[in-house]
Amino acid sequence: MTNMTEIGGFKAFWRRLRKNRLAMTGSGIVLLLVLAALLAPWIAPYDPTEIDIDQIMMPPTLQHPLGTDMLGRDVLSRMIYGSRVSLQVSFIAVGIALMIGVIFGSLAGYYGGKTDTVVMRFVDLMLCFPSFFLILSVIAFLEPSLLNIMIVIGLTSWMGMARLVRAEFLSLKEREFVLAAKAQGIPDRRIIVRHLLPNAIAPAVVSAILGIGAAILTESALSFLGLGVQPPIPSWGNILTAGKDNIEIAWWLSLFPGLAILITILGYNLLGEGARDALDPRLKL
């Protein structure tokens, strides 16, 4: 994959990305989500944990645009605060996965031989287990908490990034600038960090963008099953759980968080695909 330096740096990357309407649509969705999460205390109309027994199971109205739940809590406020949970979990989990994937992929691609064999067999072993069921098994033995969810998702989603980084290192380590650095006696660690990694990180970053949407979906699924974020902390998943239990009389508890999850994942997927195309103009040929 052509790296950002070869296509003219960040300005060229942004120019290519800006021409992609779907990518810009995804960027807009992501930006709105981030702003909602950051500004939640100021834009949420109510306290998300405030109970109002006079407003139980109210359908959408001007007072409560997305209705209320079985405790009279405002659904719009809970969804806005739930976006903070989704972003926190996804960003930290993907950050953990990216760090592990880059480390293992770099070592396997640069050193090759036995190191490559051991690392890639470990990757294959991890890929043998269905990720979501592995996460369910681990969370079932641990106390359901925000920290545990972030760590477990990160530890079970780094394999694809490791493969991408390894492939880039295998291609780049035979280039002239790497051979010249070795001839000058530059240490391996510096060659990896200063010369190879900046040229090999782009595919992993694209994978990380796509992985954020997957992490949000995983967190929502865990919360929906009662193994994720625990009430009264609001998350899209536990709002959906309330909707499942009352779907016949409170359709809004299922519809709105479901749409939020769908639109958010769509936004990250569009942005990730657009970033991939912008970083590799050959895909347009």
DSSP 8-state secondary structure symbol assigned to residue 53: G
Q: Which residues contact 114 (CB under 8 A, 6 or more apart)?
A: none
pLDDT at 2: 42
Instruction: Output the pTM of the full model.
Output: 0.86
Q: Per residue in 191-226, pLDDT tens?
A: 888 888 888 888 888 889 989 988 888 888 888 888
pLDDT at 266: 93
Q: What percent of the chain has pLDDT over 70?
A: 94
Average pLDDT over the chain reads 85
The whole-number average pLDDT for the span 243-257 is: 86
User: CA–CA separation, 117 vs 68, rounded Å?
Assistant: 55
| Residue of 142 and 34 predicted with greater confidence | 34
Rg (CA), the chain: 22
Q: What percent of the chain has pLDDT over 90?
A: 29
Answer whether 241's CB lies under 8 Å from 254's CB: no
pLDDT at 10: 63
The whole-number average pLDDT for the span 109-123 is: 90
pLDDT at 281: 53
| Residue of 80 and 183 predicted with greater confidence | 80
Token digits of residue 42: 């100021």
Domains present along the chain, CATH in parentheses? 9-42+71-284 (1.10.3720.10)
* Nearest partner of 168 among 126, 189, 197, judged by Cα: 197
Characterise 112 by phi-psi region: left (phi > 0), alpha (psi -120 to 50), beta (else): left
Give the residue carrying structure tokens 């899209």: 236
Looking at the chain, list the stretches that DSSP marks H as alpha helix, in order from N- to C-terminal side. Answer: 9-19, 21-38, 40-43, 75-111, 113-128, 131-141, 146-155, 159-172, 176-183, 188-190, 197-224, 236-245, 252-279
Q: Is the pLDDT score of 63 beyond 60?
A: yes
| Residue of 231 and 49 predicted with greater confidence | 49
User: CA–CA separation, 249 vs 120, rounded Å?
Assistant: 51
pLDDT at 101: 93
Confidence of residue 280 (pLDDT cuts 50, 70, 90): low
The whole-number average pLDDT for the span 243-261 is: 87
User: Which of 236-240, 273-277, 281-285 comes out lowest in average pLDDT?
Assistant: 281-285
User: Which of 87-96, 110-119, 142-151 comes out lowest in average pLDDT?
Assistant: 142-151
Answer whether 264's CB lies under 8 Å from 87's CB: no
